[in-house]
Amino acid sequence: MNPLLSSPHSARLFAARFAINLDEIFWKSVDFLIPPRCVACGMAGHTFCASCAAAVQLCVAPLCAKCGFPLAGSAGAACDFCSRHSLKVDRLIAAGMHRGPLQLAIHALKYRRNRALAAQLGSLMAAAWPADAPANALLVPVPLARQRRSARGFNQAEVLARQLGWRLGLRVDGAVLQRTRETRSQVGLGAVARGENVSGAFTASARRLRGRRAVLIDDVCTTGATLSECAIALRAAGAPLVWAFTLARAART
């Protein structure tokens, strides 16, 4: 018997890898027929060229021990934001800062349906995956509001989670978290208003979670309000530990 199919978990992983490979083959064929332009600098021949990928500002130490925001001072200290707000995730980490080429790439992924980018952005996340992250964690994408999901046709958080999951050999479950109500866009809201906007907006399925440690996945973290609400729901459903890992971290104003 194919060892990849020897357990339900392996079979699911195999199916996920097969789907991702099909997706990549499809997009490589599209690239062959219609040569892409870099979503950040416009250079022909690449969806996200090597020099733009190299120009992504990574979140590197020293970082806030709680929220992972780059610090000006020493490592391990809490940042100003964490001294005033209480994040409900056990730890928050991002791969890079939401500016420059990474901001343009995320915009292309979300609004121009450029799913060819997903593989490159998934690689970037996998490279930034912390060595001390909880083993065998379940990757849980933050659900998109129903209206935005149907307008966009996909949830970028789930696309990134699946890319990351197959690279790291971790399971992804896009149905653990559900929205209990629709919320307005968080764009343009301050930290307090963001918290109020998403308060109690999520519920998690204990049956799907089965007491596992969870890592929330999203494209961008701004204040952490949505991630905090998702963490509250996951903990209520029995998650003993909830981390959050996002592709990008918004700069603070």
Where does this chain bind Zn ion (CB under 5 A)? 38, 40-41, 43, 49, 52, 64, 66-67, 69, 79, 82
Closer by beta carbon to Zn ion, 52 or else 232: 52
Q: To which H or E segment does residue 107 belong?
A: helix 100-111
Cβ 233 to Zn ion shortest distance, Å: 22
Residue pair 224/195 in contact (Cβ under 8 Å)? The answer is: no
Q: In the Cβ-directed half-sphere of 89, how many Cα atoms lie within 13 Å?
A: 27
| Nearest-angstrom CA–CA distance, 225 and 237 | 19
| Nearest-angstrom CA–CA distance, 249 and 58 | 10
Closer by beta carbon to Zn ion, 123 or else 183: 123
Residue 70 per-residue DSSP state: B
Q: To which H or E segment does residue 53 belong?
A: helix 50-54
122 alpha-carbon distance from chain centroid: 9
Cβ 23 to Zn ion shortest distance, Å: 22
Closer by beta carbon to Zn ion, 128 or else 176: 128
Cβ 42 to Zn ion shortest distance, Å: 7
Cβ 41 to Zn ion shortest distance, Å: 3
Compute CA distances 72 → 67, 79, 80, 217, whole Å.
14, 9, 11, 26
Cβ 244 to Zn ion shortest distance, Å: 12
Cβ 69 to Zn ion shortest distance, Å: 5
Closer by beta carbon to Zn ion, 13 or else 63: 63
Q: In the Cβ-directed half-sphere of 144, how many Cα atoms lie within 13 Å?
A: 17
Q: Among 170, 109, 179, 94, which Cα is nearest to 142's? A: 179
Q: Among 149, 154, 211, 204, which Cα is nearest to 175's? A: 204
Closer by beta carbon to Zn ion, 66 or else 235: 66
Closer by beta carbon to Zn ion, 37 or else 149: 37
- How many other C-beta atoms are found inside a 10 Å radius of the C-beta of residue 107? 15
Closer by beta carbon to Zn ion, 161 or else 231: 231
Cβ 43 to Zn ion shortest distance, Å: 5
